Amino acid sequence: MAKEQIILGIDPGTTIMGFGLIKVVGKQMQFLQLNELDLKKYSDHYLKLKLIFERTIELIDTHHPDEIAIEAPFFGKNVQSMLKLGRAQGVAMAAGLSRQIPITEYLPKKIKMAITGNGNASKEQVAKMLQSTLGLKTLPKNLDATDGLAAAVCHFYNSGRVNVGKSYSGWESFVKQNSKKIS
């Protein structure tokens, strides 16, 4: 019998956190869900972080993913935005780590390359390719959800390959791999 695995993909954000879930049976990928956590109506940054943590825990407790793939923040021009995005990513990672779920980070270009073959593809191109690959009937209005799904699909495409990104199997692993950065 083929091994079954569930992958949760997350596109962290403090305005919208996109997420998607796929099930992998053997070498076949099946779409489960994509959605988003809309945080626009909240002005308190710490409340947003709490909601990201709680929603990630809820997704984990509901779907029992075996692994989490998360889009790594990219450096933009606005340092404050980068800091907020990093916090959002960290909170989502902390939720997964608290449940002992292995996490792998992927740079946005790596995700786009895995899905479309072009590391500079637009969000729309990524969404259309996912729609075609997974047989999605419709696409969401905001493409943050498809970005989360893209992280999960990227992880599926990269599974079994060496050096897919930074992986953490728990707090100890995270600290060990990042202790030089912290000190």
* Residues designated catalytic: 11, 71, 144
- Asked if residues 22 and 127 have their Cβ atoms less than 8 Å apart, the reply is no
Is residue 95 exposed (0-12), middle (13-18) or buried (19+ Cβ within 10 Å)? buried
Instruction: Kindly state the tokens that stand for 105.
Output: 């980070």
- Asked if residues 29 and 111 have their Cβ atoms less than 8 Å apart, the reply is no
Q: For the chain, how far is it from start to end, CA to CA, in angstroms?
A: 47
Please check if 66 is assigned to a binding site: no
Q: How far apart are CA 86 and CA 79, in angstroms?
A: 10
Please check if 105 is assigned to a binding site: no
Half-sphere exposure of 119 (CA within 13 A, CB side): 5
Please check if 11 is assigned to a binding site: yes
Q: Which residues line the annotated binding site?
A: 11, 71, 144
Q: Which residues line the annotated binding site for Mg(2+)?
A: 11, 71, 144
